[in-house]
Structure 1
């Protein structure tokens, strides 16, 4: 079985913008992210992004716009991400079990990559990122300063570089 670090996208890997990050000139990778991902890859972790991309359902941007950002991210991070799973749905437009806090995106990755949830981690910046991971027995790290008391991470840190150190120290 494989160990994995699941990653939210906006606010963890790239700057979280109020009006979505879907144009390349607005898609800003956060400092230290490529280096942190390399450390995790070197330690034998699969890296899987699980992200809600509700701007697609709302007609703000297209799936192709999102894929261009993911392609750019892969170029900058030297192809660090093993797979991107996304939910294009928005609760006011289309209901979906695939949208976090649902666990379907995680379950797809677990099945496809034979992931051992006990050895795996989820890094997110919001409680809804952590809920499905906790339900599946995956340890959680919340980054940033918007901690929700009812959905706290097992660890809380400032950024992905710090999260990588927690993971590597607790593996």
Structure 2
């Protein structure tokens, strides 16, 4: 079976607007501009799209698993069901240790095993250093997104997911023969 290529996506700050420390209120959950278009571009090029997100507020008792799942359903609906899977780590180191939680890479590794993903053909797009660390640990290329990072904060940077998608698609173009 041929290995697949994937773009792993952090959620808050990449796919939806970051709402302070935790984003879980369904009415306030807002998909960022350009996200559905970026996902569609990546899908057309054969990428699996898998969300990898920490959701420590569950362990802290600030919100429920069902509230997270409702936000994920809204995200899927807004993005025309283009996301292939959503992995989330509900733990927090102050309550329960977890190798799933980024900056560790267990969520990515589980997805790689389940979907037969080739890390050399895959990417992690996130808005924090811990996303970049998790991607690097899993052996995928990483892109830091967001307007709050200084230039040269990371080797590959983009303003938003659409910019990251363009970097990914540009890097996979075959040179003319």
The residue correspondences of 1:13-32 to structure 2 (distance < 5 A) are 13-32=15-34
The residue correspondences of 1:3-152 to structure 2 (distance < 5 A) are 3-147=5-149, 152=153
| Residue range with higher mean Cα deviation, 100-109 or 140-149 | 140-149
| Residue range with higher mean Cα deviation, 158-167 or 127-136 | 127-136
Extract unaligned runs of 5+ from structure 1: none
Q: Does 1:168 align with 2:169?
A: yes
Quick one: distance in 1 between partners of 2:90 and 2:125? 20
How far is the alpha carbon of 1:146 from its aligned partner? 4.2
- Structure 1 counterpart SS, 2:101: coil
Structure 1 residues 139 and 19: CA distance shift in structure 2, 3 A: closer
How far is the alpha carbon of 1:154 from its aligned partner? 3.4
TM-score, normalising length from structure 2?
A: 0.92
Corresponding pairs, count: 170
Quick one: distance in 1 between partners of 2:150 and 2:92? 21
TM-score, normalising length from structure 1?
A: 0.95
How far is the alpha carbon of 1:31 from its aligned partner? 0.5
Larger Rg: 2
- Structure 2 counterpart SS, 1:94: coil
Q: Structure 1: which 4+ aligned runs deviate by more than 6 Å?
A: none
- Structure 2 counterpart SS, 1:25: helix
Q: Deviations over 1:3-33 (max 9, x none)?
A: 0000000000001111411111110110000
- Structure 2 counterpart SS, 1:141: strand
